[in-house]
């Protein structure tokens, strides 16, 4: 475990890895995820940094009943699907998961 601050981009990322089976796996092919919370041994919540190529998704449409999820857009433009509605998110926008969403870059 690091004893000093680290750069998020220095954490090794995994590209396209997912628990989703085919054909849903292909939607994750353009996602690179860095598990930042694990580097510092966090156990009460996770912190992930995801870079998404156009057409990729951070996850499929889902929601949580026990844990929270928070999405913050650092750069670029993405679409969040909430029910039947689409919303554009840009750098500086954020949302929480009890809206039930799927997140895709534009």
Q: What is the CATH number of the domain that holds 31?
A: 2.60.120.10
Q: Which pLDDT does position 11 carry in this prediction? A: 92
67 vs 32: which has the higher pLDDT: 32
Q: Which pLDDT does position 105 carry in this prediction? A: 56
Task: Please determine, for residue 33, whether its predicted confidence score (pLDDT) is greater than 80.
Answer: yes
Task: Evaluate whether 31 touches 49 at the Cβ level (below 8 Å).
Answer: no
Once rounded to an integer, what is the mean pLDDT over residues 18-25? 83
Whether residue 75 lies inside any domain: the answer is yes
- Which residue range forms the structural domain that includes residue 59? 13-105
Q: Which pLDDT does position 18 carry in this prediction? A: 80
Global pTM? 0.73
Alpha helices, DSSP H, located in the chain:
36-39
What domain count does the chain have? 1
Q: Which pLDDT does position 89 carry in this prediction? A: 87
Whether residue 97 lies inside any domain: the answer is yes
Q: What is the tens place of the pLDDT at every residue in 78-106?
A: 888 777 888 888 889 887 755 544 555 55
DSSP state of 62: B
Give the integer Cα–Cα distance in Å for 2 and 38.
11
């Amino acid at each position: 475990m690091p004893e000093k601050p680290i750069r998020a981009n220095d954490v090794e990322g995994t590209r396209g890895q997912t628990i989703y089976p085919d054909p849903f796996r292909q939607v994750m092919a353009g996602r690179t995820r860095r598990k930042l919370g694990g580097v510092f041994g966090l156990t009460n919540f996770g912190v992930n940094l995801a870079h998404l190529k156009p057409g990729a998704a951070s996850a499929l449409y889902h929601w949580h009943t026990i844990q929270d999820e928070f999405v913050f857009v650092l750069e670029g433009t993405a679409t969040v699907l909430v029910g039947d509605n689409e919303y554009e998110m840009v750098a500086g926008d954020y949302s929480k998961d009890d809206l039930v969403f799927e997140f895709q870059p534009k």
